[in-house]
Structure 1
Amino acid sequence: MAKCRVVDMQFFDTAPKVFTNELELNVSAETVFASFQRADDWPLWVDSIGGVEWTTPAPFGIGTTRRVTFTNNKFADELFIAWQENKQMAFCFTETDQPGTNAFAEDYQLTELANGHCKLVWRVAFDPAGISKLVFLLFGFAVNKVFKTALAEFKVFIEQQ
């Protein structure tokens, strides 16, 4: 297990690697945010997630924690650093046994659009350690393709709900 540097929202402006992807969803921001709060939904659209466990009770907000278990039997403990119901949630890793991670954070921003649709902007910020620095330098485009694929899978998942 390795402790990760706990970061705040400024990390998305200063991290060595930041990936930003967005898309329009044919559901409301409220529907999306409700799905984000359901632990059982995450493994249904993120292939690498085996399970999610909220480690603080609802209601969730800034300071909430959870543990994500990955399909490779690794884990990440997360701390929520932003939370605006139906608008935004962001978290950072506090600890993980995934190698090569100094700091890691994700930010999900929702904007309500016309006709009950919404726009989702997903930012992933990463400060790689060790060999991961080289991997991101050489294969950052491939890493972002994984995020784009997950976002496309989320669109299919949430619009079928």
Structure 2
Amino acid sequence: MTRWYPLAESDDDFLCYAEFRFARTVEVPVAAEHVWAAFSADDALVSFSRSITAAEWTSPRPFGVGTTRTVTVGHGAASLRERFYRWDGESRMTFTVDAANRPGLRRFAEDVALEPIAGGTRFTWTFAVEPGPGLAPLLAASRPLLLKATRGFAEGAARRAESGARGGAR
């Protein structure tokens, strides 16, 4: 049986002021509904992130505030139980991680914000992490890798949205 380690609840202040905060903004030449579909599809995260190896929505559709999912990173290396505390139509979704199957995290949250612009959508993806004392030095040393990874997540999501808008495969 998997042991789960509870995390403290995150909020918007945490997303703005966390020591380990990574935000990426990408402009996508498709309408916001296509970008939103890329994030809320059943295979969304797995389709545009090599580090996410599984994602399971654990709430029934239609999704909204309170929706939950479990995400696995690195072929079972770690799993996170996420709960969305914001689900604003096709413009914004935000979750806090309620529990992880590995110790070391105090808080973790992500936010996806979509803004219509001329010719498409600007989306900003923000990650915020508060590690425990044992993990903090590793995160600090990994900051360049984490910056690259978050850029890859955002660019992968943009490609997925563009492909979906054209009716293509991922």
2:33 matched to 1:54? Answer: no
Look up the equivalent residue of 1:136 and give its one-letter code: L
Q: Secondary structure at the match of 2:56?
A: strand
Residue among 127, 131, 151 paired with 2:134 = 131
Q: Secondary structure at the match of 1:27?
A: coil
Q: How much is the aligned-residue C-alpha RMSD, in angstroms?
A: 1.4
Structure-2 residue corresponding to 1:108 = 112
Unaligned stretches of 5+ in structure 2?
165-170
CA distance in 1, matches of 2:121, 2:102: 33
Unaligned stretches of 5+ in structure 1?
none
Structure-2 residue corresponding to 1:79 = 83
TM-score of the superposed pair, with normalisation by structure 1 = 0.92
CA contact (8 A) 2:38 2:160 kept: no
Change beyond 3 A, Cα 1:13–1:150: closer
Residue among 120, 124, 127 paired with 1:121 = 124
CA contact (8 A) 1:9 1:81 kept: no
CA distance in 2, matches of 1:99, 1:143: 19
Look up the equivalent residue of 1:92 and give its one-letter code: T
2:96 matched to 1:89? Answer: no
CA contact (8 A) 2:35 2:158 kept: no
CA distance in 2, matches of 1:132, 1:107: 22
CA contact (8 A) 1:87 1:111 kept: yes
CA distance in 2, matches of 1:131, 1:87: 36
Deviates more, 1:80-89 or 1:148-157: 148-157
Count of aligned residue pairs for this structure pair: 160
CA distance in 2, matches of 1:91, 1:39: 16
Structure-1 residue corresponding to 2:11 = 8
Deviation at 1:99, TM superposition (A): 4.0
Look up the equivalent residue of 1:37 and give its one-letter code: S
Superposed, 1:25-44 pairs within 5 Å as 25-44=28-47
Deviation at 1:69, TM superposition (A): 2.1
TM-score of the superposed pair, with normalisation by structure 2 = 0.87
CA contact (8 A) 1:56 1:66 kept: yes
Change beyond 3 A, Cα 1:81–1:128: same
CA contact (8 A) 2:81 2:98 kept: yes
